[in-house]
Amino acid sequence: MNNLLPAAALGHVAANRKTGDAAFRVLLEHDFATARAEITAWDGYAPTPFVTLAALAKEIEVTEVLYKDEGPRFGLGSFKALGGSYAGLRVLQREISKRLGHPASLADIRTGKYADACAAITLVSATDGNHGRSLAWGCKRFGVPCRIYIHAEVSQGRALAMQDLGAEVIRIEGDYDASVVLAKTEAQDNGWFVVSDTSWPGYSLPPRDVMSGYGVMTQEICEALEQAPTHVFLQGGVGGLAAGVVAGLRHYWGDAAPRVVIVEPALAACLFESAKAGAVTNVAIARETLMAGLSCGAPSALAWEILAEEASDFLTIPEALVAPRVRLLATPLGSDVAIEAGESAIAGLAALIAARADRDLSDKLGLDAQSRVLLIGSEGVTDAAIFNMIMEGRDAA
Ligand SMILES: Cc1ncc(COP(=O)(O)O)c(C=O)c1O
């Protein structure tokens, strides 16, 4: 149907959706409003670009392709700037309030009223790059010691970006999931506080705050549109981005909210497998995907609660699609605006184009010439060396 080679087979599971109110129960309107009031008051806050890719839409025969470009977010390169930093601030708020015996406001912590208390609290997290960068940036702003655990394959460029923000970066031998376990264990042993973007049984407050922070992005999108898109394609790592966004869309649009399609790398398809099994399911990562931010083998329990009810379809995409779609955004069709995107940003775009080249899959997803599709460009160039490699076509190895 379209000329955007390469064509590729995607994995697809039609979700057996549960009915319920998880989008409202897990993330309260109050949570979104609190995060919005705080984050939009930060120095440097500005809505990120939201563009229409008209030539691309014409090529793949849909009405509209809407792309939210999170590259410029707070100068940190990704939407994650909204999550880790805010969740870290909320951990400080809970801990300082406990120590004081009365509530401390977010604004007072942010503006240095409790600087001594902040300096005595250590925040830690595992990351594949962007979440840790967000937390490190928040810690620097709030004067808090920060330790970030990264796995063997996290690029040196991403590690340096966190060190430059003052974080102590600890590289481990294993994969992302092993770095999550180590951060947790060392925090327990040392009285540090974990600020994770993924949740597990008994640990849900910071991941909830992380997802509430992402609501700032969703709100910017909704306020810019006159009607809801028909579809949203959301890339999945642990599922926090997807769950935060779909909850925000449901809060804003109600029954008119778009159909939710989750997209993961075939190499790290934990949400896809969870959908198949009808319950949270972990997968082993045998090989790292180029989409580093999506290389997660264990879904966030809290995110899954929302996605189990809200997501209609789960797709997997092959690695072969990643580099061509990064290049397509950077050197676009017709007069579409050029966008410099990181590898994890293009998952939805890659899946959409491939689905439009496959009539059967388009039918299954309810995609047709009337579709108006929302994509989240979740990162800009967060690692220049990898971006340059892709742009120069050195990704084929
Ligand atoms: C750029 C980017 N996009 C998407 C994701 C996926 O987010 P989540 O793990 O919340 O599903 C990540 C996670 O690190 C990311 O860095």
pLDDT digits (tens, 9 = 90+) for 148-161: 999 988 999 989 99
Band (397; pLDDT cuts 50, 70, 90)? very low
141: in domain: yes
Q: Which of 68, 69, 80, 197 is catalytic?
A: 80
225: in domain: yes
For residues 336 and 329, what is the distance between their CA atoms, to the nearest angstrom? 9
Residues 227 and 296 in one domain: yes
Active site includes 43?
no
Give residue-wise pLDDT tens across range 272-323: 999 999 999 999 999 999 999 999 999 999 999 999 999 999 999 999 999 9
Question: Using CA positions, which residue lies closest to atom 8 of ligand 1?
Answer: 237
* Mean pLDDT over each residue of the chain, to the nearest integer: 95
Percent of the chain surpassing pLDDT 90: 92
Atom of ligand 1 nearest to the CA of 342: 1
Residues 140 and 64 in one domain: no
Res. 2: pLDDT tops 70: no
For residue 168, the model assigns a pLDDT of: 98
Give residue-wise pLDDT tens across range 110-127: 999 999 999 999 999 999
Question: Using CA positions, which residue lies closest to atom 6 of ligand 1?
Answer: 237
Residues 303 and 347 in one domain: yes
Task: Find the 92 Cα to ligand 1 centroid distance in Å.
Answer: 24
Residues 319 and 369 in one domain: yes
Residues 130 and 247 in one domain: no
132: in domain: yes
CA distances from 112 to 104, 108, 140, 350 (A): 12, 6, 12, 44
Task: Find the 237 Cα to ligand 1 centroid distance in Å.
Answer: 5
Give residue-wise pLDDT tens across range 338-367: 999 999 999 999 999 999 999 999 999 999
For residue 84, the model assigns a pLDDT of: 98
Task: Find the 102 Cα to ligand 1 centroid distance in Å.
Answer: 35
Atom of ligand 1 nearest to the CA of 83: 10
For residue 377, the model assigns a pLDDT of: 98
For residues 12 and 365, what is the distance between their CA atoms, to the nearest angstrom? 9
Looking at residue 113, which CATH number applies to its domain? 3.40.50.1100
181, two tokens: 């376990």
396: in domain: no
Residues 258 and 337 in one domain: yes
Provide the domain count of the chain: 2
Q: Which residues line ligand 1 (CB under 6 A)?
A: 78, 80, 128, 130-131, 197, 235-242, 293-294, 296, 342, 344-345, 378-379
Domain boundary among 135, 170, 196: 196
Q: What is the CA radius of gyration of the chain?
A: 20
Task: Find the 200 Cα to ligand 1 centroid distance in Å.
Answer: 17
Atom of ligand 1 nearest to the CA of 210: 10
Work out the average pLDDT over 123-149. 96
Residues 234 and 337 in one domain: yes
Question: Using CA positions, which residue lies closest to atom 9 of ligand 1?
Answer: 237
276: in domain: yes
Task: Find the 288 Cα to ligand 1 centroid distance in Å.
Answer: 14
For residues 76 and 73, what is the distance between their CA atoms, to the nearest angstrom? 6
284, two tokens: 């082993």
Percent of the chain surpassing pLDDT 70: 97
Residues 225 and 291 in one domain: yes
Residue-range definition of the domain harbouring residue 150: 84-196
Number of neighbours of residue 32 by Cβ within 10 angstroms: 23
Active site includes 68?
no
Work out the average pLDDT over 150-178. 93
